[in-house]
């Protein structure tokens, strides 16, 4: 933050970019987690049931679509 001393607009832009990066990274964390917890061989008796998988995959897809929309929206705003 010292690099951007006195320039609040640059700090805000840096914050926006960090949030965009987190939005991009989130599906890459959720998908392997869902695959692992759905695996009966890996999880044993603690694996996800079918209804949990349906809800989880639905939410992951919705979240991914919203993240793509957010990324497109953010870059459009930054370009003017």
Cβ neighbours, 10 Å, residue 31? 13
**Confidence at residue 16, expressed as pLDDT on a 0 to 100 scale:** 81
Better-scored residue on pLDDT, 5 or 65:
65
Residue 2, pLDDT > 70, answer: no
Element (H, E) at 73: helix 50-79
Residue position matching structure tokens 């705003």: 77
As a whole number of Å, the CA-based R_g of the chain is 18
pLDDT in tens, 25-39: 988 999 999 999 999
Statement: residue 72 has pLDDT above 90:
no
List all residues 6 or more positions away from 1 whose beta carbon is below 8 Å from its beta carbon: 11
pLDDT in tens, 4-61: 666 777 778 888 888 878 888 988 999 999 999 999 999 999 999 999 999 999 999 9
User: Which phi and psi (to 5°) does residue 79 adopt?
Assistant: -85, -15
């Amino acid at each position: 933050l010292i690099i951007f001393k006195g320039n609040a607009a640059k700090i805000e832009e840096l914050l926006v970019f960090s949030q965009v990066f987190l939005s991009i990274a989130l599906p890459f964390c959720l998908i392997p987690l869902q695959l692992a917890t759905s695996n009966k061989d890996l999880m044993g008796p603690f694996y996800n049931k079918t209804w949990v998988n349906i809800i989880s995959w639905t939410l992951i897809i919705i979240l991914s679509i919203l993240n793509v929309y957010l990324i497109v929206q953010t870059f459009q705003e930054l370009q003017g």
